[in-house]
Amino acid sequence: MQLIDEVHQRIVEAANILREVVHKTPLDKSRTFSSWTGGEVYLKLENLQKTGSFKVRGAYYKITKLISKGRVNKVVAVSAGNHAQGVAWAAARAGIESIIFMPEFAPAAKISATRGYGAKVVLYGKSIEDSYSRAIELASQKDVEFIHPFNDLDVIAGQGTIGIEILQQLPDVDVVVVPIGGGGLISGIAVAMKKQKPSIKVVGVEAEGAASMYKSIERGRIVKIRKTDTIADGIAIKSPGEYTFQLVKNLVDDIVLVNDFEISEAMFKLLERAKVVAEPAGAVAVAALLSGKVDVKGKKVVAVVSGGNVDASLLATILEKSLISEGRIVRIVVELPDKPGTLKKVLGIIAEARANILDVAIDRVSPQIKPGKAMVLITAEVQDPDYIDEVIISLKRLGYTLNIL
């Protein structure tokens, strides 16, 4: 296929150009994930790349190609996240100006980071579509070039250098699992790896709430979904590109879907067991492995952790929810007589079960609470989820009504 050959030639060139510019990110074997999945699991840590994601690869290669043709003094892009930072960094590194259009709802941290890499940030419109139309209008001017986040052969080729690195680091890899948004990352990796080792199985992972590539492949044509609904905003794309659709259709062996609960669990396990900070989009490949949606028993598998730019408040929420779901943080609602010493007795019982009390909230005035009673919400951290059974038995023995949330 001519398109595949063309992209492969550009990947080889991109690898030479990027060698002294971007990090060759680590390929880290996870013994924990290997034991859980029955395979030999390696993490390709693009969260440790410059700007915290793989996006600088495609952006820098695209910009150098434009400069070599004498066609650009300024680049423009649209993004609410990693592509914005990648283009900003790459343009500054290449010595040209960048303008990044972001929707008005873009997170303040990402706006600040993009400006910090040297870009002029323009907030425009309520959605990415609004920002996109304004950016295209600007790009129609002389000496201004638009950098598409995925549907561009140079951008795809830049991302494909990850595939070359993986084969250098683990030549006998059997399976590579890659996030899919617009498809630029998996397209480049699939070309790079299949050209060198056709037996490699390439599996893509999308969020259930943004499955535009999955639906497009399923129907045999590019599909635009009405809306996206996922915490993985980095891959929340309504429609794949023409190039990426063709490359995925011809090279990718399978696409699986993961839900937000599975993504959150993967983020938690990456942080706790692998000491890796991943954004939701960056964790979907690991989510696919841990949920069993990709069978890797007896195989050497690489999961691409594509980025680590996660909002701190979201990460904190995910960690707390994960601890609760595992029974390591419990919330006990108990109705008590509103008398001195009662709460102290209850807290003492909880402490005897080796629980660390994190928070206590008391409600005496809600209409559903009986006069002379108080509803108490106790949040506690336990060493072992089984310990909470001791608390339940002890409190019920004293005649208290309680629920575990």
The secondary structure of residue 370, as a DSSP letter, is P
306 tagged catalytic:
yes
Both tokens assigned to 61: 């290669």
Instruction: Return the exposure string of 53-73: e unless at least 16 CB atoms fall within 10 Å of the residue's CB, then b.
Output: bbbbbbbbbbbbbbbeeeebe
The one catalytic residue among 131, 187, 306, 322: 306
The one catalytic residue among 55, 62, 195, 269: 55
Give the separation between CA 101 and CA 78, rounded to whole angstroms: 5
Both tokens assigned to 54: 């793989």
One DSSP character per residue, 217-272 reads: HHHTS----S----S-GGG--SS--HHHHHHHHHH--EEEEE-HHHHHHHHHHHHH
Q: Give the Å distances, CA to CA, from 281 to 7, 133, 266, 305.
A: 24, 25, 11, 8
To which H or E segment does residue 381 belong? strand 373-382
- Residues across the chain: 405
Catalytic residues: 55, 306
